[in-house]
């Protein structure tokens, strides 16, 4: 995908076509070339690729104001399993929905996305405030979690908790530090923004300053979880002497609220919307090389992740698809077990939307050609699921079938049943109502040429004039004048 990185920005329409091999930094740069007052809601890391970021959701500093990247995607191009290049019109709304939050790699090769740009001020206000445990960080963090998702949507305050060296004790031991990093989407007089923050947190915010629109950092090893509600204040006080699990990893809280709380959880496969206070990122950085060091730091992150269990979402414990966590489970794509394996982590990533993603996957890639260790699985290949997929694929025909049946049942069924009963009575054959049944697939396959269908002693013809009726205790398909033609044929034979 590295060679597919063109970006075409149209400021007049406030849109851009972005190929999936481009990076977020390149997208921001090309937009800034054309306009200083336009941007796009996506991540802060400039080297992240567009393809994965957009297809899995995409969040960043503008999420409280504008939502996610997928909330502003209006078209896409994908190569499907048959090698066809499809845009939104030809791929259909289901597949378009799936690749804007459900991970494009499960459904095909996404080539590009068309995005709507958003308006941003030419100058914004940013600040960073740091407090340690000795500076009342526990109390401040607790109060931050009470208000972070309720502040005005123009204000985004990210919280980073990490262990640092300190000179605030006699033996210079480590301590916990809380860093509040924020952006406000318009320029304030510095005194105004600092006074605003001081009134609810007693931060004594020195160092507020105006800044240009974009800033970035590099991503470490990560896990992501959703924080549903703040627990007691005591829950955030950590004894560093007894809890080595928190000494090296760090936590980053990205607050929700604002636009994130207004968008439906089913508008895209990304389900984590209203009801969440923040998205928590677990990260670990290390300079040492080798498998032993890697295991050590990842294990520390796993311990911290476990330690946070009482404070986060549960049943399931939600996760963010763009930060793949193989600890949640791996799909080996082993026949019928594939769906059950994929469901374990799929429900954590997509919650109730997982079911729809599986149905779309089964429809567009039934043989699971596009797959990886955590891709969307297909439905098991059994008759029950085949019927489900038949209904999904042919719901329009089924709807027409039912509507036609109801209409004809009311208008044509009684006369037809009477004629049929009379004809059978003449042959001294007793008929208790109309019980003949014709399979739906036979109706669908009858494309104009006559198809002979036999059931019991009666022969009917199904063709372009097919009528469908629900009569008595069964469903029957027959031509409007079928009985009359049958009677004429018998008279000629005599």
CA 442/CA 224 separation, integer angstroms = 51
Q: What is the DSSP letter of 375?
A: P
Beta-bridge mates of residue 109: 79
Given the residues 28, 59, 66, 323, select the one marked as catalytic: 323
Counting Cα atoms < 13 Å in the Cβ hemisphere of 329 gives 19
Q: Are 357 and 98 in contact (CB under 8 A)?
A: yes
CA 193/CA 203 separation, integer angstroms = 12
CA 291/CA 134 separation, integer angstroms = 36
323 annotated active-site: yes
Sign of CA dihedral 443, 446, 447, 448: negative
Q: What is the DSSP letter of 184?
A: E
Ordered strands of the 250-255 beta sheet: 209-211, 124-132, 174-184, 155-165, 250-255, 278-284, 221-227
CA 342/CA 355 separation, integer angstroms = 11
Q: Are 38 and 45 in contact (CB under 8 A)?
A: no
Longest dimension (CA), the chain: 117
Q: Which of 24, 23, 27 is nearest to 35 (CA)?
A: 27
Catalytic residue list: 323
């Amino acid at each position: 995908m590295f060679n597919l990185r063109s970006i075409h920005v149209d400021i007049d329409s406030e849109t851009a076509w972005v190929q999936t091999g481009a990076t977020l930094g390149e997208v921001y740069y090309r937009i800034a070339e054309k306009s200083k007052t336009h941007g796009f809601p996506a991540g802060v890391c400039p080297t992240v690729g567009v393809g994965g970021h957009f297809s899995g959701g995409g969040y960043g500093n503008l999420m409280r104001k504008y939502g996610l990247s997928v909330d502003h995607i209006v078209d896409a191009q994908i190569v499907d399993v048959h090698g066809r290049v499809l845009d939104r019109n030809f791929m259909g709304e289901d597949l378009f929905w799936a690749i804007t939050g459900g991970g494009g790699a499960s459904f095909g090769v996404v080539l590009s996305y068309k995005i709507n740009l958003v308006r941003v001020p030419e100058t914004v206000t940013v600040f960073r405030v740091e407090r340690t445990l000795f500076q009342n960080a526990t109390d401040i963090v607790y109060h931050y979690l009470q208000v972070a998702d309720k502040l005005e949507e123009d204000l985004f305050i990210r919280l980073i908790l990490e262990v640092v060296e300190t000179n605030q004790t006699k033996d210079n031991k480590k301590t916990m530090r809380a860093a509040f990093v924020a952006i406000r989407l318009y320029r304030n007089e510095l005194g105004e923004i600092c006074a605003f923050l001081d009134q609810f947190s007693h931060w004594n915010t020195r160092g507020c300053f105006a800044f240009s629109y974009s800033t970035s950092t590099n991503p470490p090893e990560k896990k992501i979880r959703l924080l549903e509600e703040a627990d007691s204040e005591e829950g955030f006080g950590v004894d560093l002497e007894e809890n080595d699990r928190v000494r090296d990893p760090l936590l980053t809280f990205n607050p929700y609220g604002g636009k994130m709380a207004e968008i439906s959880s089913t508008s895209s496969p990304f389900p984590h919307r209203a009801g969440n206070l923040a998205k928590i990122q677990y990260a670990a950085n290390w300079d040492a090389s080798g498998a032993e060091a890697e295991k050590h730091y990842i294990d520390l992150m796993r311990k911290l992740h476990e330690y946070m269990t009482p404070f986060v979402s549960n049943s399931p414990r939600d996760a963010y698809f763009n930060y793949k966590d193989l600890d949640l489970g791996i799909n080996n794509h082993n026949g019928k077990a594939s769906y059950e394996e994929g469901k374990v982590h799929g429900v954590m990533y997509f919650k109730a939307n997982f079911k729809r993603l599986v149905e779309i996957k089964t429809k567009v890639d039934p043989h699971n050609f596009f797959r990886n260790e955590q891709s969307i699985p297909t439905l098991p290949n059994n008759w029950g699921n085949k019927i489900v997929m038949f209904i999904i694929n042919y719901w329009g025909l089924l709807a027409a079938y039912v509507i036609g049946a109801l209409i004809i049942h009311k208008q044509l069924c009684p006369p037809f049943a009477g004629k049929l009963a009379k004809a059978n009575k003449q042959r001294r054959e007793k008929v208790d109502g109309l019980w003949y049944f014709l399979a739906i697939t036979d109706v669908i396959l009858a494309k104009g040429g006559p198809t002979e269908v036999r059931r019991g002693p009666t022969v009917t013809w199904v063709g372009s004039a097919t009528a469908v009726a629900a009569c008595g205790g069964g469903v029957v398909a027959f031509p409007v004048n079928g009985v009359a033609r049958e009677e004429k044929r018998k008279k000629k034979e005599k």
